[in-house]
Amino acid sequence: MKKVLRSLLLCLTLVVVLGVVTACSDPLSMLTGANNANANNGEVIELADNTEIPEDGVIKAAQFRSIAGKDRTVTFTGKSNGVEYIWSFNGKNIKNPQDQNLKIDVVTASEDLNKVKTLANSAPEGIGVTIKQTSGFVTVPRLTLKTGKKWDVNAGIFLKYIKKDNKVTKISTVTFDKQVQDQTVMTFNVTQGGDTYYAVCGKSGSSEPTAQDGNTTGGSSSSSTSESSSNGDGSNTVTISISCATVLNNMDKLNNSKKEFIPADGWILQPTQVTFTEGQNIHDILQKVCQEKGIQMDSEFTPAYNSAYVRGINQLYEYDCGDLSGWMFKVNGWFPNYGASQYNVKGGDVIDWVYTCDLGKDVGDNSQY
């Protein structure tokens, strides 16, 4: 009797264990779930088409989950310093919802703003926005500013001011709403946060603002049309580049045996047009172009993130240039918060593989800080 009971208990335990294992199809995700801050319970809060930004500015991950993966655009509105601002998020590229702080402070006049205007080809008009979101965006949102004033402008760029070097780098192009007559309404893509950014405007031709393209980390002038809209342009080519320019500033940290694999200008692959077939992701494109050009590339599939992880390109591996080094990718200037196998490319995308020596900070990704 006792023996039967014991074996029964054993069977029951076995069934329970098996059940748990099969129910959780990806056992690793249980371990890594903690990484997705407050995102592990899978709670969904439906988002309205337009939401007012709350006092603390935070839109919950649960709210973004309601639009994640869907081709649906929602807007969030707020007001600062007399300027009304509207964020629009499209859910299509959201794979990994996170809390987002959408509060911004608008700066209409400051010393830095004047400096930026001077640097950007002495642009006549400009406005600064301090974006509170410090750890990257879940997708590329568009920010619309209703300035309240009418400026006599028709061209503008959204840029970042790097105080240390006293220079500006372009993030995206500003478009204007020509329908509105009484004030200037401008819209631009935002790919990063955590700093004060500036939108400077002028007249096309004479006082058109200029800035170094933020995508050209390699240094040489790039002809890439980094200004693709998030909708794609319908063609079946994308632009891909591979650059390790950050290593040039950290040669002292570089593993000695890898020195000869660093090109003098940092470009392992100059921006190159490649064709793709529907459904290919960024990792596929990289693999294809590397095989075609004979560039060594090493990646491994990581089940926990359901994506490939690129360990090394052209013999330059993770950790080869300090403990915080490795390969990252950006699409149209934005560092997605998910893996390269999860992003399906579309026509006109500009893919940049960049080597970081500082966990992304030196290539313009703040998501780890």
* Neighbour-count burial for 336-365, b at 16+ CB within 10 Å, e otherwise: bbebbbbbebbebbbbbbbbbbbbbebbbb
Applying CB under 8 A, the span of 103-111, 264-272, 310-318, 337-345 interacting with other proteins comes to 310-318
Nearest-approach distance from CB 350 to other proteins, in angstroms: 22
Nearest-approach distance from CB 93 to other proteins, in angstroms: 24
Residue type, 338: Y
**Number of other CB atoms surrounding residue 64 within 10 Å:** 24
If binding is defined by CB under 8 A, does position 293 make contact with other proteins? no
Nearest-approach distance from CB 298 to other proteins, in angstroms: 4
Q: Which is nearer to other proteins, 261 or 327 (CB)?
A: 261
Nearest-approach distance from CB 257 to other proteins, in angstroms: 6
**Number of other CB atoms surrounding residue 306 within 10 Å:** 15
Number of residues near other proteins (by CB under 8 A):
16
If binding is defined by CB under 8 A, does position 319 make contact with other proteins? no
Tell me the C-alpha distance between 113 and 213, whole Å: 19
Nearest-approach distance from CB 220 to other proteins, in angstroms: 25
If binding is defined by CB under 8 A, does position 297 make contact with other proteins? yes
If binding is defined by CB under 8 A, does position 315 make contact with other proteins? yes
If binding is defined by CB under 8 A, does position 279 make contact with other proteins? no
Q: Which of 296, 303, 323, 369 binds other proteins (CB under 8 A)?
A: 296
Q: Which is nearer to other proteins, 75 or 287 (CB)?
A: 287
Give the DSSP per-residue string, 247-277: HHTTGGGB-GGGGGGS-TTSEEEEEEEEE--
Q: Which is nearer to other proteins, 273 or 296 (CB)?
A: 296
If binding is defined by CB under 8 A, does position 287 make contact with other proteins? yes
Nearest-approach distance from CB 285 to other proteins, in angstroms: 11
Q: Which is nearer to other proteins, 126 or 312 (CB)?
A: 312
Q: Which of 64, 76, 85, 261 binds other proteins (CB under 8 A)?
A: 261
Tell me the C-alpha distance between 359 and 99, whole Å: 21
Applying CB under 8 A, the span of 123-131, 253-261, 274-282, 349-357 interacting with other proteins comes to 253-261
- Six token digits for residue 352: 């940049």
Nearest-approach distance from CB 56 to other proteins, in angstroms: 45
Contact 151, 176 (CB under 8 A): no
State CA 320 to chain mean position distance: 24
If binding is defined by CB under 8 A, does position 301 make contact with other proteins? yes
Applying CB under 8 A, the span of 77-85, 102-110, 221-229, 296-304 interacting with other proteins comes to 296-304
Burial of residue 144 (number of CB atoms within 10 Å: 0-12, 13-18, 19+): middle
If binding is defined by CB under 8 A, does position 263 make contact with other proteins? no
* Region class of 262: left (phi > 0), else alpha (psi between -120 and 50), else beta: beta
Nearest-approach distance from CB 104 to other proteins, in angstroms: 42
Q: Which is nearer to other proteins, 190 or 310 (CB)?
A: 310
Q: Which of 133, 135, 241, 299 binds other proteins (CB under 8 A)?
A: 299
Applying CB under 8 A, the span of 138-146, 240-248, 270-278, 295-303 interacting with other proteins comes to 295-303
Contact 86, 141 (CB under 8 A): no
Note the helical H segments in the chain. Answer: 2-23, 27-32, 61-65, 111-119, 245-248, 282-293
Tell me the C-alpha distance between 280 and 90, whole Å: 21
If binding is defined by CB under 8 A, does position 307 make contact with other proteins? no
Tell me the C-alpha distance between 205 and 48, whole Å: 41
End-to-end CA distance of the chain: 62
Residues forming contacts to other proteins in the complex (CB under 8 A) are: 257-258, 261, 287, 291, 294, 296-301, 311-312, 315, 317
